[in-house]
Chains A and B, each alone.
Chain A
Amino acid sequence: MSLHIFYDNKFKTSAISLNFIQKLDKSSATVNALLPLVIKRASSHYPTTISLQKKLKELYGAELNAGIIKRGDYQIINFRFDFISESYAKNIDIFKEISKILEDVVFNQSSFNNEYFNQEKENLKLYIASLKNDKRSYAIRRLQEIMFAEQPYAICEEGFEDDVDKITIRDLTASYKKMLSSPLEIFVTGNVDQSDAEGILLPENYFGFSESFESINNKAESAEVTEYEQISQSKLSMGFLTSIESTSPKSSALSLYNGIFGGGAYSKLFNNVREKLSLAYYAGSRVDRFKGAIFVNAGIDKANKDLAVREILNQHQDIIDGKFSESDVEAAKLSRIMMLNSIQDSQIAIEDYYLKQILSGRGTSENIATAIELTNKVQSSDIIDAAKTIEYKSQYFLTNGE
């Protein structure tokens, strides 16, 4: 079943999120990124952007967002409708109106407007170039490209600037057909009527994601790269690799390792790199479960690079050596549990959580209560075992000067 309905009348809005799932590939990445940009411009019933936007505005400012989501090696073409729910929309059958627009825009495009196509090609090029603007996230992106070079994961989910110009309308049409025959996972959340949700007209041949989950290949490069830009604060990112897969029973221990290491204000990175040594305003880590990777990032002074790297590696070693307390474990558990309990308070968080579950082969059967139970069961020794599987691999440093 790939239509997932999460009814909750505490939300004032309803949301429909459509996710077409494909593997990241150099030959298709760019045209896939272009597709949602052109699709959301117009449709058969709304042949101009202004007519579609006017209609959405009338529906109490309903939003249509379209773009790409990257999860592991997957490039997901996402369309999301976000609108106020029935009870607040006076005299409008809003769910029905949105469903009609959805069917038209997403499933029944007949021909793409040539001018819109050309405009969105320019926009895509600008967007890819702009990924360098936020230096903090750019430093993580570069680390990922270096650490997983030659693997699908290193492919930018928005494609390549140099590949945009050669895309033709024919290419786009072909990729649209391919999108429609890709696995599709739909989430409907909020104050929704079950029968309304099930009434969305989906194409006959659609099907959900059921690829068997590929195990982590445990392959990553060991490399250290420094690049230069005219910036005030240098950005350091470091990548670690683990063999623990997201379906492994050790996965919860890995999450708690990350909590203790760099998960928040209670973590070793925050308390040592920032508070004790005053080296940084932000210093933290996060796990990408699909790749078994842990990414650390910190904003520091150029002169303190070696000190920061040493301190980060020391903190990791400390966990392997068991140099953390029961209260550190407790803090990491409570923080993770709080995060898990909070998921139900946000429609986007619900969609994201269950999409990740589906992509890692767990379906939507492992619910949040189970995740909490597993978290509580983790012991210090499990965390040490998890830490021992983690190896430092690569580093990226963005700094000033030459």
Chain B
Amino acid sequence: MQFTTTHNSDLNETIFEGTHESGLKVIVMPKEFHKSYAIIGTKYGSINDNINDKKLPDGIAHFLEHKLFEQPDGTNAFDSFSKTGANSNAFTSFTNTCYLFSSTSDFDENLKILLEFVFHPHFTNENVAKEQGIIGQEIKMYEDDPNWQVFFNMLGLMYQNQPLSTDIAGTIESISHITPEVLNECYSHFYSPNNMVLAIVGNVTLDEIENCIPKLENKNTKISNIFLDSTIDLIKEKSVKLPVSSPLFLLGFRDKPEGDTQKKEAISELALELLFGQSTEFYQKAYEQGLINDSFSTESAIENNFAYVAIGGESPNPKKFKEEVSKFLSSKIDFNDADIKSAKNYLVGNHLKQFNSVERIGHALVNNAMRNTILFDYFATCEKITKNDVISYINSVITPDNMVLSIVEPI
């Protein structure tokens, strides 16, 4: 395998990137930590609701993630990892499914175990039936989670009837339609090495990594892009009741997925910090009035097929808070150069922190690869952003007309 080397001297980090003969992308960041971390992801998530227009059951990407751990000899991948002491896990997001492990020894052996189970599916009627109960409990657990509910309801307001507002795990009803046959179909289609990325962070060499990758077929499958309509009407508000002590909310602003995602990500993060950061007049006033507290946070999600920003937390009166935001956004918004510099410093500091963790770096490498952006470029991208970029973004996305409010309130 040929690897290209990129070194960032500000960060004092190096990344090696290469493409395996099967099409699998491999990214490696050497790090002298005790732990080494490997994560392999495929561009298949909850929004991939069809194969060539044949509709798939909701929750199948997540179900598949659970089942892939089963091995043909009747054992589970966790059993294999228990022999080497590695810590293994997996997750399904809207856009990808990832399998990972971290370990402080036997890296090669662990990497072989990871790639072995990910590339050898074994779905049977028995193991599928068993998982219904387990995932059923997972679904119920999330039904009780107010943060999960307030978030998914917000997505429903912005993307009604679109795959993005479907729960990642599906429903107990939808998963009851999952069979080994349809799992195999999804696996064959989406788990094609050319659709996948393997990221490794730790005390490793390129040779040892290459030696751990098994022979893989270059299927070169073309995955159709999922189109999400970001122009449909917004639903302005939704409120549900759960046994919480006081209300929590999310105020979302839908954006269109166009343009340079990394640049938009940096601009939106800067905008959120300048408008709603802890050192802003708006935040302090809302905090002093008791409209928000330490639970308040902001988020920006910028992908190739959807984009939004959101702010939220606990509030005794989410609707009043929304009114204050509306008034604020309707007023003249401007920032001075010192504010911009300070906010950029803040973002740099924030992004730098992820390099303290092999897990966070691994995730960031996979996410960037899936999105076709380069992790190291973030700092330079941030540096180049102008006040006009930020104000334009605020005027087009973070506006009173573009707000949706999701609330979870006490019973």
Taking beta carbons and an 8 Å cutoff, which residues of A are in contact with B? 10-13, 49-50, 53-54, 56-62, 82-84, 88, 115, 119, 122-123, 126-127, 129-130, 132-136, 229-233, 264-266, 270, 274-275, 278-282, 299-301, 327, 330-331, 333-335, 337-338, 341-342, 344-347
Contact = CB atoms under 8 A, between A and B. Distances in A.
A136 B349 CA distance: 33
Given A12-B352, A61-B346, A334-B82, 12 more contacts: A13-B352, A58-B342, A60-B348, A119-B290, A123-B294, A130-B295, A135-B243, A231-B144, A265-B82, A278-B134, A280-B137, A337-B85
B141 A54 contact: no
Contacts of B278: 53, 57
26 contacts: A11-B356, A12-B356, A57-B346, A60-B345, A61-B345, A126-B316, A133-B245, A232-B144, A233-B141, A264-B87, A274-B134, A275-B130, A278-B132, A278-B137, A299-B137, A299-B140, A327-B82, A331-B82, A337-B104, A338-B87, A338-B103, A338-B104, A338-B105, A342-B34, A342-B102, A346-B356
Contact of A345 (B132, B288, B358): B358
B361 to A, nearest CB: 11
Given A335-B82, A338-B103, A345-B34, A230 B411 contact: yes
Closest 8 CB pairs of A and B: A334-B85, A278-B133, A60-B349, A61-B349, A266-B82, A129-B245, A233-B140, A61-B346
Contacts of A229: 243
Contact of A342 (B104, B135, B356, B411): B104
B290 A58 contact: no
A60 B284 contact: no
A301 B144 CA distance: 13
A275 B105 CA distance: 27
Contacts of A281: 134-135, 137-138, 141
Contacts, number: 176
B277 interface: yes
* B interface, size bucket: 35 or more
A82 to B, nearest CB: 8
Contact of A122 (B146, B290, B345): B290
Contact of A13 (B130, B137, B281, B356): B356
Nearest to A51: B279
B81 to A, nearest CB: 8
Contacts of B357: 345-346
A115 B288 CA distance: 8
Contact of A135 (B34, B144, B287, B345): B144
Contacts of A278: 130-134, 137
B143 interface: yes
Contacts of B76: 275
Contact of B279 (A10, A54, A299): A54
Interface in B27-47: 31-35
B241 to A, nearest CB: 8
A113 to B, nearest CB: 11
Nearest to B129: A278
A330 B83 contact: yes
B83 A130 contact: no
Contacts of B102: 342
B355 interface: yes
Contact of A233 (B83, B144, B352): B144
B345 A265 contact: no
B336 interface: no
A10 B202 CA distance: 12
Nearest to A274: B134
Contacts of A230: 242-243, 411
A364 to B, nearest CB: 18
B84 interface: yes
| Residue from A88, A133, A231 with most neighbouring chain B CB atoms (10 Å) | A133
A205 to B, nearest CB: 32
